[in-house]
Amino acid sequence: MHPVETRFFAPQAWVNGAWAFDVLLTVDATGHWSAIAPGATPDQRAGAHCLAGPVLPGVVNAHSHAFQRAIAGLTEQRSPARSANTAASRDDFWSWRERMYAAALRISPAQLEHIAALLYTELLAGGYTQVCEFHYLHNAALGSPPASALDMSMALVRAAQRVGMGLTLLPTLYMRSGFGATGLRPDQQRFASTPASLCRLVDDLQTQTQDMAHVNLGVAVHSLRAADSPAIAELAQFAHDRGLPVHIHIAEQEQEINDCIAHTGQRPVQWLLEHAPVNARWNLVHATHTTAQELAGVAHSGASTVICPSTEANLGDGVFDFSTYCALGGRWSVGSDSHVTRGWTEELRLLEYSQRLMHKKRNVAAHCGPGTSSAANLLEAALNGGLAATALPLGGLQIGQRADFQVLDDQASNLLGVPRECVLDALVFSSPGAEPKAIYVAGQAVTHHVHAEVASAFAQTMGALWTS
């Protein structure tokens, strides 16, 4: 906590969905905004810390698998043919998953901490200040010393605490290999959990982290193919009783849609809305292959979607029906998922560009919100969705919200000479950009440059994973 309130002066800051100027920002002793005053006079801002660039809120990264940072760039070569009858190799989500498992099955708690420490530093540099970690590496690696689910989870907590990243940890239910299966395959045993084991893990984690800053808990269901209806209901009831956010992968792949229909007679989102207590605490990750009726149901329920444009593009998933969902008033957040990119501006740019390619129109998001700027509407929606993803007050520069913010480098080449009203547009749609000058979490500056020891530990981990 801050011993006393802290005051900052920003020549330009993003307040209530628009740029405000000469803004005096006050952080209370708990690290939350207590006053925001545009048009501050020189006398009013006397003694305040002057921020040397435009100020934007920190953004929530609503979907992360930290361990997958270890395969970024390592899955971009043609897969071998799967059988003698295959004329040419097929690269898709399922072939990528086989490569991902090669890392998932080997990473130790110490290695996970090293990977996450580098990743979380990179995410800070990308303007994220809180990350939702969809975590299912619960058990020991194959052939490694015993490790508990608590060991694996605390590796992520330690990494976040070390670098100053806010963390919403989401222990994940994973019980079966697919629709109709009775259990997991041998190469999935590391992910094994039950509602009871997750409830115990959440209790243990709450005890372990109760005195740690900026750490909170939620729960996740890996997917409908990975858990049955009674288990989902049991975990959902636990989350309801504890007031926890719930996340679930859904409708990411067309094969998943077909399998769900074959085993349940319904599409995944349709099934979920009819059989689970979906409400404003639920976050539906991807929801790529959805009908307009399903999207209307999600919007009506109050749930949010979590869109991960860079991963969805990298995996060839497909394109989310953003225009329809926005017209329905749907809530959404953004995540970097497999971390092939690690900045929120690129995620929002890819989201907008995918819509332009689909609809052959420009400024699609500019017609999907209250503002006239695509970047402004995208950022405001992502901030609003971050509240649902984390169940924390992370909605931007508003009184009562946590004082997370980033100070932009207005001398970076993509912002140089840009009129001040267009700074956000240029930040999102003129690339490449520069890292922020500074990142603050709860009003405290955090380092967003990779320390030598963090880089060294990551490099050693990569060597152990991929050269042994």
Tokens at 436, concatenated: 């922020």
> Which of 220, 52, 67 has the alpha carbon at shortest distance from 134?
220
Query: Looking at residue 80, what DSSP letter applies?
Result: P
For every residue of 137-200, which 3-state class applies, written as one string?
CCCCCCCCCCCCHHHHHHHHHHHHHHHCCEEEEEEEECCCCCCCCCCCCHHHHHHCCCHHHHHH
List, by residue number, the catalytic residues.
286, 337
Burial of 83 (0-12, 13-18, 19+ CB in 10 A): exposed
3-state percent breakdown (helix, strand, coil) of the chain, nearest 5 = 40, 20, 40
Report whether 242 contacts 205 (CB < 8 A).
no
Q: The tokens 């006050």 sit on which residue?
A: 26
User: What is the rounded CA–CA span in Å between residue 240 and residue 265?
Assistant: 28
Report whether 57 contacts 396 (CB < 8 A).
yes
Beta-strand runs (E) in 184-337 = 215-217, 219-221, 246-250, 282-286, 304-307, 331-334
Burial of 430 (0-12, 13-18, 19+ CB in 10 A): middle
> Which of 322, 324, 304 has the alpha carbon at shortest distance from 385?
304
Peptide bond into 432 cis (omega under 30): yes
Query: Looking at residue 256, what DSSP letter applies?
Result: H
The H or E element containing residue 101 is helix 93-104
Q: How far is CA 401 from CA 91, 93, 253, 377, 394, in A?
A: 43, 38, 36, 19, 6
The rounded radius of gyration (Å) of the Cα atoms in the chain is 22
